[in-house]
Structure 1
Amino acid sequence: MRIIVNEESVECSSALSVSALLTQLQLLRPGMALALNQQILPRAQWDEQLLQDGDAILLFQVIAGG
């Protein structure tokens, strides 16, 4: 299965959750936010959201300020 992570193609096994993929790629860090197919995916859903072939993930660092 092919997933796009930050505009780079990644081959992975099927039935992989978002958090499992990020752990496998060593990208799971505090303060990260994620968009799956251009929709923000709440972190509480990362463990249960299964990826599909062709999905696109965009990771970004959350920055707070005033």
Structure 2
Amino acid sequence: MKITVNGDEITQAEATTVLRLLEKLALNAPGTALALNASILPRTQWEHHALRDGDELVIFQAIAGG
């Protein structure tokens, strides 16, 4: 299965969830948010949402400032 993460194509041999992929890529830091196929996916759904071939993830870090 092929998944695009921040514009880079990743080949995943087996089915996985959003959370497992983020942990594998070391991208599950506090303040992380993501869009799946151009829609925000709440963190509460990451553990259970199965990725599909062709999915596109955009991962970003929330930044506070003033």
Moved over 4 A (4+): none
The one-letter code of the counterpart of 2:52 is Q
When the two structures are superposed, what TM-score results if normalisation uses the length of structure 2?
A: 0.91
Counterparts of 1:22-37 in structure 2, within 5 Å, are: 22-37=22-37
Gaps of 5+ in 2: none
Q: Which residue of 2 aligns with 1:46?
A: 46
* % same residue: 50
Q: Does the CA-based 8 Å contact 1:15-1:51 persist in structure 2?
A: yes
Q: Partner of 1:28: helix, strand, or coil?
A: coil
Give the 3-state SS of the residue equivalent to 1:64 in structure 2.
coil
Q: How far apart, in 2, do the equivalents of 1:32 and 1:60 lie?
A: 6
- Which residue in the other structure is 1:9 paired with? 9
RMSD: 1.2
Shift of 1:15: 2.1
More deviation in 23-32 or 56-65?
56-65
Q: CA deviation at 1:27?
A: 1.1
Name the aligned partner's letter for residue 12 of structure 2: C
